[in-house]
Structure formats: C-alpha cells, structure tokens
C-alpha cells in the first residue's frame, strides 16, 4: 500500500499487522475421522523511523517487527520510500509498505489469511492526500466544477494487490490508513425531499399537492412560495460561503451560484405566467389533475382475469375508485420547480427560451420521469387550449432500449387515459381524443393491420407465440389484459378485440370507462399511428431511420400527402437517458437530427418555431458539447444546478435520520482473489455465500436480499454463470452444509433462476420483470436473476436490495445505472452491491486497488460522451438516408426518384451543411464531398423506384435504396443502389451456413483409380 507522509527527524510511522494462519486438527466425529482447521490469530507491530524513510531512497528494505508469540509462519514487513515527483519539499515522501509471506511451503497450511495492516503517524508525522495526476491539457470549466464539488473527497492511500481505506480526514490529514482485502464503501443516499426547519428545531417535509394545484387552492400557492423562499435562502447562503473558499475554487463556485440564481428566476417567471395568463394557468391545473390521477391509477393492484366454466371472462373484484392514498399525489420539490422553470418555454411556442435544451440531471430513482411527463401534459393541454381543432402529435418521447420504451409506454398510457377522460368532460379541448402510440420495429409491434390480425390469431391458438401488443393491464382500472390459458395449449387474448380489419384495446371489465367499442386510446400498429396521429408518440431513436422508407410517417409531423402543413408539428421532444446517445448510435442520431428537427419546425409564422427539447439523465459529462453536436443548440441548462458540494443541490441532499446523522446508503463491497485461479471460482463462492446468508436474515427483512440480481458484461459470461448455477454452486453449497453442519432442510439451493437479457422476446421481458416483483414466500420468487445491460435503465423494482456485478462494468455511467437498480427504498432495505473483480484483468485490478477513491467520487469518474455525426464513415453510412428521409416526408407522396429532385435534395443537404457548420466546421469539406458524391450517383443512376428490395414491391434492378445488410441481387448496378439504414445501430450483412454431404456422395460415386 502506498501513501504520502510528511515527517521530520524523531517522527515515525507505526504499523500494526493482523492476520491468521490455520493448523490441521484431526478429530473423530461419530466414529469417523475428519480433518478440521484451527485458526491461529497473529499480530505484529513495527515502527518505521524518519531516518529510514528520508535516507533510504528508491530501494526496498526490511523492517524489524515485534510479534506477541512464536509462530511457524513468517510474515515480513518491508518498505520503499521515494520523493514525491514534482514536489521539492524533502520532508514529504511517498512510502510503500509491503506485507510479505516468507513461510516455506505451499498450500493452505502455509497461507496467511484475513491479512491486513494499519499505518498511523506518530510524533507529529502527517499522512496527507495522495498526489493525483492532472488531466492532460488546460483545465476547463467542467474540470474546475468537479474539483470544487469533490474537494473533500481526496485519496490518502492506494493498494497494491489489496484495497486501501483511511479514517475520515480533517484539514487534509488522516489519522490512519489501512490495507483492506475486502473493501467496502457506503455511498450516501440522496433524498429529493426538502425540509423546513421550524422554530422548535423540528424538520418538516415540504410537500406540493397536485390536488391543491389542480383545484387552484391557496394552499397550493403557499406551498410553491415555500419552495421559492427556501431555495432563495439556500442560494443566498451558498453565495455567502464563496469568500470562505480557497481562491482556486471561487470562479467555479460563483458560476454555480449564478446558475442557481438563473434557475430561481426561471421558476419565478413560470409562477408569474400562471398569475397573468389564464390559458397557461388552466393548462397547468389540468396537467396537475392528470398527473395526480395518473399516479393513482398506475399504482392500482393488478386485477386478474380468468375464464369461468361457460367460457365467460371474469375480472377479479370491482373497478377501483381513483382515490389518492396517503403519500400519493404530491410533487417532489425538484419536479414542480422544473415544471415552473420550463413552463414558459413549453406553453408558449414563441418563448425566447424555446431554443434552450433543458437537461434534468437527477440520481437514479429520483423521479425524472414524473417531471417530464408533467411537462408533456402541459404541452398537450396548451396546444388544445390554443386551438381545439389542432389535434395531432404534440410530444415525441424517445428512448434507446426497447425494454425502457415498453415500460415507459405502460406508465405514460395511464396519463393519456386520464387526459382523455378530462377532455371528454370539457368543452374547450376539442373533439379529437388524447391518445398515445408506441412506435417500434416490426420485431416488437406490428407494422400493418394485416400483420396485427395474423399475430392475434396466432396468439390465440398457441401459447408459445410472441405477444406483439405489449399492453398487459388496463391503464385505467388495472384489469388484466393479454394472454391467459385456455385449453391444453391455446390461450385467450384478453382485451385485444378485432373490430373489422383492425384490432382495438378494449378493457375486459364491462364497468370500465374504456370498455366501449372505441376502446382505450392506445395505438401500437404503425398504420394506426399514422392514421390517428396520437398526441404522444413513444419510440426508440432507431425507428426514425424508417423515415426514408415510410412516407406515411409524415402525419406524425402534421403534414398531408402533398407535404403541406395540416396541423401543428410536435412541439416537445423528450429524450430520456441522454448519456446513451453517444458513440456510433449517437453519431447516426446526430446526422438524422437536423432532418427531424426541420420536420418538427412550424414555418407558418414570421419566425419559424422549433420544438422545445427536454432531456434527462443520471450520469453525464460534457453535456453542453453533446447537446451542441446532437441538437445544434448553443444553450443547455442543467436542472437542478450544482451547489458547492457534490450531492448537495438543495433539491437533492444526503438523507438524514431524525437525529441528523446520515441515513443508510448503498454499500459497495469489492471481492478479488489472485489465488483462486479464475473469476468463476470466486463467483461460485460469492453466489453460494449470498444464497445461504439470506437464510440468517429475519423474515421481516429477508425479502430484499432473497433475490440476487447478477449483472454480467457479456452474454458469454452470462452463459458461463448459467453453467455455474447448474453444477458448481450446488456442489459448493453441499460442501458448506457438510462443513457447517447445516441440516439438509435449511440449505438453500438456487431453485428459481431468471434470465433478463436481449435474448428474450419482447413480450417475455415485462413478464420477467413482473416475476422479479414477486415477494419472498411466493413459489415463483426468484433466487438468482442473470441480467445483461438491458437492466441498465428502466428496471424500477423497489423490493430488490442485493446485486452482484461480475467484472468492472465497461463505463462508470453503466456502473452507476446498473447498481442503481437495487436499494431504491433505502429506508426499508438499503442496497448491497458486491463487485467481483478479475485478478488477471488490469482494469479490474486497478478499480479494486483504488476502491474507496473510485466510489467516493463516482459521478466525477463518469466518462465524457462523444459523437461525431459528420465523420466520413457516418456520412457514407447515413447521409443519403437522412436526405431521402427529408425529401420523402416533406414532398408529395407520389414523388419518385426519377428525375433527380434537385431542389428537394439541395434543401435537405443544406440542413445537414448548416448543422455541420455549427457543430463541427472542421468536417465541412468532408460533408461537401459526400453530398456532391451522392448527388452525382443519384443524378446519373436513373433509378425509377425508391426501393431495390426484393420484397414489399421493390425493384432490385431499378431501385435507389435497399435495406442495409441485405444481399445484392444479381445484375443490380453499384454504387447507384444505396445501402440505407432501417436502424441507427450497426447492421451488417448476414449469411447462413448450410452443411452438405454432397461432396462425399459425389466422391463415393466415382470409381477408384487403380494403382
């Protein structure tokens, strides 16, 4: 272990070693000979004087140590001292203390176990913070901000083959450092609750009632004013602290407090708009009412459906009343603060801050989804209040993963059902229904009505069929929907009702508000979405690549078949988990983004009105640059703004108990073993231990730790773990039972295992999540769940509190997101995250050796995201698709590729050039070159059809485009047939292998040659 010390003559470091060794001990148990091991504790102390440390430089020397007894093992202490690089003070040294086992022999009898040591300064010596390397290049604003926020989170020791820990420092000095083979660090829980301190000293939570705001009660206004007052006081206190900071932190601190003041002014502007604009006030009240009852209805217990003896569907219980229960129906302060800050931009398309990209930055589980759903509700109500006949898609909500998309779809569906109920009882919201659509690929939901009818028929006839309709419960009354068993292998598709050539969602409970022929305002079939133009469309970013192929998608942007503006375009774009829009995916999205934004821009006004963009994330760096590259916007605003310390922004603070002490946080535990040979061997021991240890927890607390959620970095590692669960782990549990004398009935086997990966069908994922929600005591309660990065976002299961991460995740953002799946209800069941490190992997070993340093600065370690939409490989892959998408969506639907549409192509190209000029001017020559190349290919190719695909009516010889990854037809001309993406992700051509024995048959049919 290495540390930095400052010492002078007469001062020293005191080292205390604690470890143990084991002696064989033969015993007779029930007339059988057994071998037990007897633990022998060992302690050793030594002083390392200043004369050694200051004079014996750059070489390892042994240290005389004292032991309390004579033992057969031979541990030895050694030290290595050298000057601090770049630091001239001769009294300051970097010291490495080493514990070496010099015992002769091998195997368990010669091993030192539970080894560790502690170093304490004596006689005035000091252990100071370890020197950190400065990042290359000049420090920027973000680096200065991180230095300010984490100024109290320093490193005081680094392990070598072990981890390091230290006492809490005071004035940049710690009293002791320790070498720790099993490091643990507890990350404090952050609470979104804000407290008012009363005159008695009592802390009372500040709540903002949705019901009071919906009704326009004075109580709601008073609650808002309380949030404003407390935040203004907090900002003033932070500003007063700036002068007390060291000089190098003051510029960043001033910048942070200025941003807090700006956020407060935006919140006040939203409040003033409510007072002065009746339409804004009404939209705000309606949105609060909708969000209140969305919370109530989305939390209703599932009402199961079964078939009675006559084949009639019976729904359990009666339709529940939508009555808010205690604790439901309140905004968290940061949520209502964000709604007010963004209200002028969301409500008014002509707002001067419409161009500002708002980024909700809040820890996992803090309530980001509720915040942007509230903004979406305001936007949709405001549009109808401006013009009740202006019905069309108003909100595009985009995600990156199909699991996240499907989960948020079920959540948002409740909101739109409530909004539709409100509209039906109002006179100023128009005649068109509020509705929601989910826009995904054909592998998840049907593209056409015919495919939907076919899928429904197959679903009813075979229980093994995939369910492409996604909806598994009524968002209004929580009656079960989807497949239920019927007969030996058949099933009934409850709530999926064929109506003519279409399939509608109709609640099976006849007393439900949406049990009529019109059904639920939910659309999952692409044809239906294009026809109805749902108010809110949820989709993956990948789906927007289909704009080059599907001209009917123009209806989502309010355009008719001639390309004329029919209704207003979407006014709000919501991007969840912005940090995932990076790398190759982000680069492709960034290339299509100017096209999508132009389709969402309303040019009917003197000043074109671009859409408002709201994004959210829990982990991001360099967000301003990412927003610039992705959206072409020069201004981005983080909400809530940072304070002067990490985790303290007023709206998010470390959770505390009633006595003021820190509440329980999420505990991280690191495990690495160089001696066990492989990470799989360590896995077996950890898995068996966690399985059996849950048996020792009381029944009241057992549920959270009964299910061990395992995260694996690859499907290959996941496959290895499946084998371990089937063989090695049960074998090791058998050894534990024999070793500890556990009764066979008390041993816990991995009985119910679950896989949650992309290998599962889309309709199986919601079922797997529901199974994970089953409490301890249920027959199907999961023992071990093996998951890939599909759980990184969107898996919000409150009961989970135990996770094992096998291998350091690829990025810190992924590490934070994955570990955030457990311990969400920290006041009931704090999370425990066990990370198993591979001793043979240098990156794993480095994270283990710097375990505390890494975990106490988790968010500072997040890697900056990057995207390069105008790099040559991206342009060659997607520029033609983006240009064709704009031409086909904004022009006449009958427009063909021949003759070459000069004006339309130039307009699309100009959008891409302008974005490149703004975001990455260095790549402009490349952009010009690729545009000219594609124009030449199109102009001289004389393609008469858009599609060159052999299916769907395309012409493989005369088509302009084919699906990227499809095979080339014989006779087709290249390069005038373009590989055009249908997804933003990498798609490569595939070939199928077929093993044949024809060569053997042919050889056998030939007569043998004579010698």
DSSP codes, 428-494: SS-SSPP-EEEE--TTTS-SSHHHHHHHHHHHHH-TTS--TT---B-TTT-BB-EEEE-SSS-EEEE
Compute the Cα dihedral for 437, 438, 439, 441 and give only its sign. Answer: negative
**Interatomic CA distance for residues 835 and 809, integer angstroms:** 10
* Mean pLDDT rounded to a whole number for the chain: 90
41 φ/ψ angles, rounded to the nearest 5 degrees: -70, 150
**Residue 970 reports pLDDT greater than 70:** no
Mean pLDDT is highest, among 458-467, 555-564, 983-992, for 555-564
DSSP 8-state secondary structure symbol assigned to residue 609 = B
Max Cα–Cα distance, the chain, nearest Å: 112
Contact (Cβ atoms closer than 8 angstroms) between residue 279 and residue 272? no
**Beta-bridge partner residues of 307:** 313
**Nearest by Cα to 142 from 685, 674, 751, 620:** 620
* 688-698 burial: b if 16+ Cβ within 10 Å, else e: bebbbebeeee
DSSP string computed for 372-401:
HHHHHHHHHHHHHHH-TT--S--EEEEES-
Sign of CA dihedral 414, 416, 421, 425: positive
The 10s digit of each residue's pLDDT in 11-58 is: 999 999 999 999 998 888 777 888 888 999 999 999 999 988 988 777
- For tokens 């090695």, what's the residue? 728
For the cut 80, the answer to whether the pLDDT of residue 968 exceeds it is no
Q: Is the pLDDT of residue 1011 over 50?
A: no
Question: For 787-799, how does the pLDDT look when each residue is reduced to its tens digit (9 = 90+)?
Answer: 998 888 767 888 9
**Model confidence at 664: pLDDT above 60:** yes
Q: How far is CA 210 from CA 80, 217, 294, 314, 405, in A?
A: 64, 10, 11, 35, 26
Report how far apart the first and last C-alpha atoms of the chain are (Å, whole number): 76
Among the ranges 72-76, 707-711, 947-951, 971-975, which has the highest mean pLDDT value?
707-711
DSSP-derived letter for residue 999 is H
Partnered with residue 179 across adjacent β-strands are 117, 164
Average pLDDT, stretch 669-689?
93
The token pair that represents 328 in the structure block: 């439901």
Q: Could you tell me the CA-to-CA distances from 703 to 270, 620, 782, 835 in Å, in that order?
A: 44, 33, 10, 21
Phi, psi of 134 (to 5 degrees): -75, 145
Residue 1010 has pLDDT above 50, yes or no: no
Rounded to two decimals, the pTM is: 0.91
pLDDT digits over 201-225, tens only? 788 889 899 999 999 999 999 999 9
Write down the pLDDT at residue 975.
Answer: 55
**Mean pLDDT value across residues 106-111:** 87
Res 173 pLDDT > 90: yes
Higher pLDDT, 526 or 487: 526
pLDDT tens column, 628-646: 999 999 999 999 999 999 9
Angstrom distance (rounded) from CA 882 to CA 872: 15
Say what the pLDDT of residue 464 is: 82
- Whether 861 shows a pLDDT value over 80: the answer reads yes
Q: Rounded to an integer, what distance in angstroms lies between the CA atom of residue 529 and that of residue 537?
A: 8
- Show the beta-strand stretches assigned E in 140-291: 163-166, 173-174, 177-180, 184-187, 190-191, 195-197, 203-205, 208-209
Distances in Å between the Cα of 609 and the Cα atoms of 345, 350, 363, 533, 632 are 11, 7, 32, 20, 15
How many degrees, rounded to 5, is the angle at CA 296 between CA 295 and CA 299?
Answer: 85
Average pLDDT over residues 435-457: 90
Distances (CA, A) of 529 to 468, 493, 596, 623, 749: 15, 22, 17, 33, 48
Q: Which of 794, 814, 788, 834 is nearest to 688 (CA)?
A: 834
Closest CA to 791 of 782, 778, 783, 800: 800
Q: Residue 987 pLDDT > 70, yes or no?
A: no
Residue bearing the bigger pLDDT, 727 or 310: 727
When pLDDT is averaged across residues 179-188 and rounded to a whole number, the result is 95
Average the pLDDT over 716-723 and give the result: 91
User: What is the distance between the alpha carbons of residues 23 and 103, in angstroms, rounded to a whole number?
Assistant: 14
Check residue 416 and give its pLDDT. 97
Spatial CA neighbour of 104 closest among 130, 76, 126, 79: 76
Q: What is the pLDDT of residue 973?
A: 54
- The values of phi and psi at residue 961, to 5°, are -130, 150
- Mean predicted confidence (pLDDT) in 283-297: 96
Can you give the pLDDT at residue 989?
53
Band of the pLDDT at 3, cuts 50, 70, 90?
very high
d(CA 98, CA 96): 6
Distance CA 366, CA 362 (A): 6
User: Could you tell me where the beta strands, DSSP code E, fall in 198-287?
Assistant: 203-205, 208-209
Residue 326 scores a pLDDT above 90: no
Q: Residue 898's CB: how many other CB atoms inside 10 A? A: 15
Q: How confident is the model at residue 1006 (pLDDT cuts 50, 70, 90)?
A: low
**C-alpha separations of 774 from 687, 771, 799 in Å:** 21, 5, 9
CA separation (Å) from 388 to 274, 555, 762, 965?
20, 18, 37, 45
Radius of gyration (C-alpha) of the chain in whole angstroms: 32
Residue 690 · residue 834 · CB < 8 Å: yes
Q: Match 């199986």 to its residue by tokens.
A: 764
Mean pLDDT calculated for residue range 963-973 = 69
**Paired tokens of 608:** 């074109």
What separation in angstroms does the CA of 588 have from each of 439, 556, 617, 867? 19, 21, 20, 9
pLDDT of residue 372: 94
**Token duo for residue 115:** 């080894």
∠ CA(721), CA(722), CA(727), 5° rounding? 95
Specify the pLDDT at position 35: 84
The tokens for 128 are: 């100071």
Cis peptide before 899 (omega within 30 of 0): yes
Q: Using DSSP, how many helices (H) and how many strands (E) does the chain show? A: 25, 42
Taking each helix axis from N to C end, the angle separating 402-424 and 278-298, rounded to the nearest 10 degrees, works out to 120
């Amino acid at each position: 272990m290495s540390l930095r010390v400052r010492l002078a003559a007469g001062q020293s470091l005191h080292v205390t070693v604690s470890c143990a060794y084991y002696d064989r001990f033969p015993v007779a148990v029930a007339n059988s000979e057994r071998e037990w091991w007897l633990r022998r504790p060992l302690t050793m102390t030594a002083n390392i004087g200043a004369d050694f440390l200051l004079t014996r430089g750059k070489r390892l020397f042994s240290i005389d140590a004292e032991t309390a007894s004579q033992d057969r093992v031979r541990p030895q202490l050694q030290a290595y001292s050298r000057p601090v690089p770049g630091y001239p003070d001769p009294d300051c040294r970097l010291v490495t203390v080493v514990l070496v086992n010099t015992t002769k022999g091998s195997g368990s009898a010669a091993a030192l176990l539970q080894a560790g040591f502690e170093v304490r300064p004596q006689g005035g010596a000091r252990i100071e913070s370890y020197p950190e390397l400065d990042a290359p290049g000049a420090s920027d604003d973000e680096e200065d901000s991180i230095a300010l926020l984490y100024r109290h989170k320093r490193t005081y020791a680094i392990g070598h083959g072990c981890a390091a820990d230290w006492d809490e420092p005071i004035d940049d000095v710690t009293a002791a450092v320790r070498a720790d083979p099993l490091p643990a660090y507890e990350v404090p829980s952050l609470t979104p609750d804000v407290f008012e301190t009363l005159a008695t000293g009592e802390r009372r939570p500040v709540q903002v009632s949705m019901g009071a705001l919906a009704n326009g009660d004075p109580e709601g206004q008073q609650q808002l004013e309380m949030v404003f007052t407390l935040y203004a006081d907090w900002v003033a206190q932070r500003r007063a602290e700036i002068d007390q900071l060291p000089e190098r932190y003051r510029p960043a601190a001033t910048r942070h407090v200025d941003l807090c003041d700006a956020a407060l002014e935006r919140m006040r502007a939203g409040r003033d708009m409510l007072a002065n604009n009746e339409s804004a006030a009404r939209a705000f009240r309606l949105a609060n009412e909708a969000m209140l009852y969305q919370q109530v209805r989305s939390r209703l217990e599932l009402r199961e459906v079964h078939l009675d003896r006559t084949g009639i569907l019976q729904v359990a219980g009666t339709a529940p009343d939508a009555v808010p229960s205690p604790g439901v129906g309140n905004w968290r302060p940061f949520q209502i603060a964000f709604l007010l800050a963004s209200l002028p931009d969301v409500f008014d398309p002509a707002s001067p801050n419409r161009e500002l990209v708002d980024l909700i930055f809040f820890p996992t589980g803090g309530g980001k989804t509720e915040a942007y759903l509230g903004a979406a509700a305001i936007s949709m109500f405001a549009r109808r209040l401006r013009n009740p006949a202006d019905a069309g898609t108003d909100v595009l909500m985009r995600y990156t993963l199909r699991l996240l998309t499907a989960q948020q779809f079920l959540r948002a569906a409740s909101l739109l059902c409530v909004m539709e109920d409100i509209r039906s009882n109002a006179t100023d919201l128009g005649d068109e229904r509020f509705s929601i659509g989910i826009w995904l690929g054909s592998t998840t939901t049907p593209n056409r009505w015919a495919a939907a009818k076919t899928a429904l028929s197959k679903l009813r006839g075979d229980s093994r069929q995939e369910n492409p309709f996604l909806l598994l419960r009524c968002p209004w009354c929580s009656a079960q929907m989807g497949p239920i068993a019927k007969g030996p292998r058949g099933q009934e598709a409850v709530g999926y009702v064929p109506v003519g050539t279409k399939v509608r969602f109709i609640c099976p409970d006849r007393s439900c508000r949406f049990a009529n022929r019109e059904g639920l305002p939910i659309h999952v079939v692409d044809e239906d979405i294009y026809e109805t133009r749902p108010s809110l469309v949820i989709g993956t970013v990948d789906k927007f690549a289909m704009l080059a192929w599907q001209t009917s998608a123009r209806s989502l942007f309010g355009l008719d078949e001639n390309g004329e503006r029919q209704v207003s375009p979407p006014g709000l774009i919501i991007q969840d988990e912005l940090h995932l829009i990076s790398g190759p995916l982000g680069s492709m999205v960034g290339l299509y983004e100017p096209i999508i934004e132009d389709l969402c821009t309303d040019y009917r006004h003197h000043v074109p009105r671009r859409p408002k963009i709201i994004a959210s994330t829990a982990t991001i760096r360099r967000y301003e640059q990412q927003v610039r590259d992705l959206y072409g916007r020069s201004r981005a605003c983080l909400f809530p703004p940072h304070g002067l310390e990490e985790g303290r922004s007023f709206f998010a603070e470390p959770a505390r108990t009633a006595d003021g002490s820190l509440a329980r946080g999420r505990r991280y535990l690191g495990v690495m073993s160089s001696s066990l040979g492989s990470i799989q061997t360590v896995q077996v021991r950890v898995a068996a231990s966690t399985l059996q240890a849950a048996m020792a927890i009381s029944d009241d607390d057992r549920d959270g730790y009964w299910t061990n959620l395992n995260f694996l970095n690859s499907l290959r590692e996941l496959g290895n773990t499946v084998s371990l669960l089937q063989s090695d782990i049960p074998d090791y549990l058998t050894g534990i039972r024999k070793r500890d004398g556990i009764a066979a009935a008390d041993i816990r086997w991995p009985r119910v295992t679950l896989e949650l990966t992309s290998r599962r069908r889309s309709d199986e994922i919601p079922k797997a999540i529901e199974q994970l929600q089953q409490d301890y005591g249920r027959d199907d309660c999961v023992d071990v769940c093996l998951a890939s990065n599909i759980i990184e976002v969107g898996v919000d299961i409150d009961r989970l509190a135990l996770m094992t991460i096998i291998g350091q995740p690829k990025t810190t953002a992924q590490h934070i997101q994955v570990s955030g799946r457990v311990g969400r209800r920290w006041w009931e069941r704090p999370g425990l995250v066990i990370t198993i490190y591979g001793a043979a992997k240098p990156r794993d070993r480095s994270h283990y050796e710097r375990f505390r340093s890494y975990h106490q600065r988790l968010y500072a370690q997040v890697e900056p995201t990057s995207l390069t939409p105008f790099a040559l490989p991206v342009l060659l892959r997607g520029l033609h698709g983006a240009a064709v998408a704009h031409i086909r969506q904004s022009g006449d639907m009958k427009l063909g590729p021949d003759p070459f549409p000069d004006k339309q192509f130039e307009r699309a190209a100009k959008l891409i050039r302008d974005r490149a000029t703004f975001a990455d001017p260095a790549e402009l020559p490349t952009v010009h070159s690729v545009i000219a190349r594609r124009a030449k290919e199109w102009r001289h190719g004389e393609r008469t059809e858009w599609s060159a695909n052999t299916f769907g009516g395309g012409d493989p010889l005369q088509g302009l485009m084919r699906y990227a990854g499809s095979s080339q037809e014989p006779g087709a001309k290249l390069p005038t047939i373009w590989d055009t993406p249908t997804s933003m992700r990498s798609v490569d051509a595939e070939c199928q292998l077929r093993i044949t024995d024809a060569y053997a048959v042919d050889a056998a049919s030939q007569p043998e040659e004579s010698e």
